[in-house]
Amino acid sequence: MNLTPSTTSGVAAYQGTWSATYSSKLQTGGDSGSCSVVVNADGVIDPAQNANNCTSSISGQFTLTGALNDQGQFAGTTSSGASYIGQFDATSKSANGTWQNSGNTDNGPWQASLP
């Protein structure tokens, strides 16, 4: 799926399948991985479309869900208990932010792009 033609505002501007990676700030033992995230026309990362959409270097597959507002601000959670926040940019087709696991011992940056 590609960015809705000529749309760079509103939640529909973020619609598509985004490729994402995340990494840990920990020197050793930290988590890292990748995700394929389908954002629907309502700006939602729906669990029905995104079951097991991420792979962790530590725990295998997990599901990332959440939603974007019309300014591209993102808040999400995972089936493993981590939280993700960040900012999507429809013009550059890029996104970035931070993640935090539920135990508050591991966190780091994430990045995404829309091909």
Query: What string of DSSP letters covers 25-93?
Result: S-SSS---EEEEEEE-TTSEE-HHHHTT-EEETTTEEE-EEEEE-TT-EEEEEETTS-EEEEEEETTTT
pLDDT tens figures, 56-112: 999 899 999 999 999 999 999 999 899 999 999 999 999 999 999 988 789 999 999
Q: How far apart are CA 22 and CA 42, in angstroms?
A: 24
Average pLDDT, the chain: 91
